[in-house]
Amino acid sequence: MQIVKLEPSKHVAQRWLCWLEDGSCIRVTENEVISFALYSGMEVSDGLYDRLTEAAARSTVRTKALDYIASRPMSRKELEDKLTARRPRKKDGRERPPLATPEEAAEVADWLEDLGYLNDSEYAKTVARYYSAKGYGVHKVKDEFFRRGIPRRYWEEALEETQEPEEGIDAFLRKRFRGKSPDQRELKRASDALARRGYNWGEIREGLNRYGADIEEE
């Protein structure tokens, strides 16, 4: 089989369309054009066709993975989940397969880790710093670690990046009460809100006492 036309895509950057004489089209990247030395009129054997389509599929997944992690930091599990997730159906109702199989997604994640673009340890610290700066407690940060699929072996070191609970609690109470003396109902609402933000009762009680609420230990 012969390549009858090789042209850059008008819609997707760095994608090339490799048209074969049977009317089929292989969507490749610049990597395949260069590494396989593709050109119009080139003969494509069955073996070359298989290698080319396999390489093109791998490049497509790698490009998409790079797009994902460039848009926002994420854990290895989040990336693999996105690559293997079900996609919306085509306009004609036909199903679209996931971008990658679990094995292909794991291979891409390994590749990105080797390049240093994917690092669960550093990502855990980023998550810890972000939620701590937003005034959330350790329990909330741990919930985020779990939700994002960050391995537990990175949690302890990442939690060292969080601020002391007193800072977050005191800032929350100052903003909520603005120097006023709250009644018991307001104190209850404030303590419930702090609990939802990931602080334990001991930390909350001490914070309310620092504010002057005189909460007794239960």
- The pLDDT mean for the chain works out to 91
Q: Specify the pTM.
A: 0.80
The pLDDT of residue 31 is 85
Distance CA(128)–CA(163), nearest Å, equals 9
Q: Are 28 and 56 in contact (CB under 8 A)?
A: yes
Domain ranges of the chain: 64-117, 120-159, 170-210
Query: What are the C-alpha distances in Å from 56 to residues 14, 64, 140, 175, 194?
Result: 12, 12, 42, 55, 51
The reply to whether CATH 1.10.10 applies to domain 64-117 is yes
The pLDDT of residue 216 is 57
Q: Are 132 and 161 in contact (CB under 8 A)?
A: yes
Strand segments, DSSP code E, in 14-165 are 15-20, 25-29
Q: Is the pLDDT of residue 30 over 90?
A: no
Q: pLDDT grade, residue 210 (50/70/90)?
A: confident
Residue 100: which residues within 8 A CB-CB, separation 6 or more? Answer: 61, 83, 84, 108
- The residue whose two tokens read 């994902």 is 68
